[in-house]
Amino acid sequence: MSNEAKDSQFEYCVSCLGAGYVGGPTMAMIALKCPEIKVIVADISKKQIDKWNSDHLPIYEPGLEEIIKATRGRNLFFTSDCTQAIIDADMIFVSVNTPTKKYGIGKGKAADLKNWELAARDIARVANAPKIVIEKSTLPVRTAHSMLRVLHANANEKKISFSVLSNPEFLAEGTAMRDLAKPDRVLIGGNTSKEDQHAVERLVWIYEHWVPKERILTTNLWSSELSKLVANAFLAQRVSSINAISALCEQTGADVSEVARAVGMDGRIGDKFLQASVGFGGSCFQKDILNLVYICETFNLKEVAAYWQQVITLNDYQKERFAQRIIKSLFNTVADKSIAILGFAFKKNTGDTRETAAVYICKHLLHEHAKISIFDPCVTSEQIINDFNEYEALPDGFVFEKCVTIHKSAYDACKNAHAICVLTEWDEFKELDYKKIYDSMVKPAFAFDGRNILDLEKLHKLGFETYGIGKPNVESVDMTKVSTV
């Protein structure tokens, strides 16, 4: 079928620049729900596009494969021809990555907008008709304004109009398809000009195919951009809050899960994001908070910046505390001891390891000359090796093969280990045969649960020395043994 004939079937065309965790699943959902719309996902990485066009998708998300199978080649197309994707589209989502800057002004805090600006310049250069440009990547407040300037400055002689809208994504990894199918809200920010309001209506029309109208929220551009950062900051803040309390629980004999339940049953507080853990990870929480901190500092709002910075500080403290606890429990030395790491992803149901607490814990243990054996049901060995290579601060003389082994089963990883550490809450870790694991370990055998998913009492009865985040020591539930404040 010629391109023209193929296009004539479609009423409207949207494209997305960036075929990553957000772009791929979001466009797949639009293609599924809007069969009359042609959806093109473009990326400069041919390797990434080849994966999207293969049976081995570049990301793992429950339910994604089925949707890709139903839509790919029908109204969903993956291409590395970004120019054509811009020309063909009426509406262009920009979903390129915006990592924390590693250089220059704002280093370590501000978002690196290099990719976003390049995308805007490409659109301005290539576009031959009016385009609606949608910010899908998380961006600092007022980025849309800069983007409009880039677009207009480069497209003036062509007399083309551009509208820039903000439409932040709120999907979480591991539940992306569910979040996309039934979002709590869809947020669309746009200027008040007639043209921009028309663009907003167009985007609302797309979402209305499956999202109830009352869940589609339209705001001004800046509110939309800021809401994305604030939503992630609030979520991360809850995790840091409960993690702060977990440290206090360990000192007092309170159980953090009981405290979280009691507190979360207050309807005003709610029970979500109160699961104490070894520390939050993922590509967004830290990045977005740092970005928020940077914006506040830029406006000289020092107290506000310090307030949000503390969420990150507490998260670092939690990871450090966990690593220290392992070392202290193992008689203050892990040198040449084998530590089994169960779970490497930053949370369950994803193979993503960005900012995962596991890398931090492993690095800490490696500095103490431990031997690490890792099992994760979803993270590839290639990814784990990359993650270690990316660390600048590995101990002197570190040789990956000598210090780290990656296993295909949890049982293999735990064999001859001095301790096991659960760092990702994979459901399958709850069902392991811990008697078998215990029998294969060096004694005394330790179990450190960084996700509070194990039955520590049961493990204790098997002979394990156990530790759970914010959990009373199993032996010292007896109040006489609990330290007093």
Which residues are known to be catalytic? 284
Among 169, 250, 368, 449, binds ligand UGA (CB under 6 A): 169
- Is 346 a binding residue for ligand UGA by CB under 6 A? The answer is yes
Cβ proximity of 80 and 46 under 8 Å? yes
Residue 380 beta carbon to ligand UGA: minimum distance, rounded to whole angstroms: 19
Residue 359 structure tokens: 């890398």
Question: In angstroms, what is the minimal distance from the CB of 336 to ligand UGA?
Answer: 30
Q: How far is the CB of 70 from ligand UGA (least distance, A)?
A: 24
**Rounded CA separation 149/398 (Å):** 48
Q: Under rule CB under 6 A, which residues in 361-420 are in contact with ligand UGA?
A: none
Considering only residues 170, 307, 398, 400, which one is a binding residue for ligand UGA as defined by CB under 6 A? Answer: 170
| Contact call for residues 134 and 86 (beta carbons, < 8 A) | no
- In contact, 221 and 166? CB cutoff 8 Å: yes
Number of Cβ atoms within 10 Å of the Cβ of 104? 8
Member of 17, 147, 235, 326 binding ligand UGA (CB under 6 A)? 235
- For β-strands 131-135 and 371-375, DSSP reports them as unpaired
Residue 274 or 292: the one with the smaller Cβ distance to ligand UGA is 274
Considering only CA atoms, which of 222, 78, 82 is closest in space to residue 146?
222
Q: Pick between residue 280 and residue 446 the one whose CB is nearest to ligand UGA.
A: 280
Q: Which of residues 254-293 bind ligand UGA (CB under 6 A)?
A: 273-275, 277, 280-282, 284-285
Q: Are 16 and 92 in contact (CB under 8 A)?
A: yes
Nearest distance in Å: CB 275, ligand UGA = 3
Is residue 240 a contact residue for ligand UGA (CB under 6 A)?
no
Kindly report the CA angle at 151 between 147 and 154, in degrees rounded to 5? 135
Closest distance between ligand UGA and the C-beta of residue 47, in Å?
23
Paired tokens of 175: 């539940």
> Does the footprint of ligand UGA cover residue 304 (CB under 6 A)?
no
CB of 303 to ligand UGA, least distance (A): 25
For 249, residues 6+ apart whose C-beta sits below 8 A from its C-beta are 255, 256, 259, 470, 471, 472
Distance of closest approach, residue 346 Cβ to ligand UGA, in angstroms: 4
Buried b / exposed e over 340-366, threshold 16 CB at 10 Å, is: bbbbbbbbbbbbbbbbbbbbbbbbbbb
Q: Looking at 75-83, 100-108, 193-201, 232-240, which segment touches ligand UGA (CB under 6 A)? A: 232-240
Residue with Cβ nearer ligand UGA (48 or 243): 243
Element (H, E) at 467: strand 465-468
For ligand UGA, the closer of residues 97 and 163 by Cβ is 97
- Please identify which residue in 120, 239, 293, 326 interacts with ligand UGA, judged by CB under 6 A: 239
Taking the least distance from each CB to ligand UGA, the nearer of 284 and 340 is 284
Closest to ligand UGA by CB, 32 vs 180, is: 180
Question: Quick one: which of 42, 67, 134, 171 contacts ligand UGA (CB under 6 A)?
Answer: 171
Query: Where are the strands (E) in 43-172, listed by range?
Result: 76-79, 91-94, 131-135, 162-166
Cβ neighbours of residue 482 closer than 8 Å, sequence gap 6 or more: 252, 253, 472, 476
Residue 282: strand, helix, or coil = coil
Build a one-symbol-per-residue string for 120-149: x at contacts with ligand UGA by CB under 6 A, - elsewhere. Answer: ------------------x-----------
Question: Segment contacting ligand UGA (CB under 6 A): 30-38, 101-109, 168-176, 454-462?
Answer: 168-176
Closest separation in Å from C-beta 133 to ligand UGA: 20
H helical segments located in 270-301: 285-298
Q: How many residues bind ligand UGA (CB under 6 A)?
A: 20
CA distance 461 to 155: 71
- What are the residues binding ligand UGA (CB under 6 A)? 138, 169-173, 232, 235, 239, 273-275, 277, 280-282, 284-285, 346-347
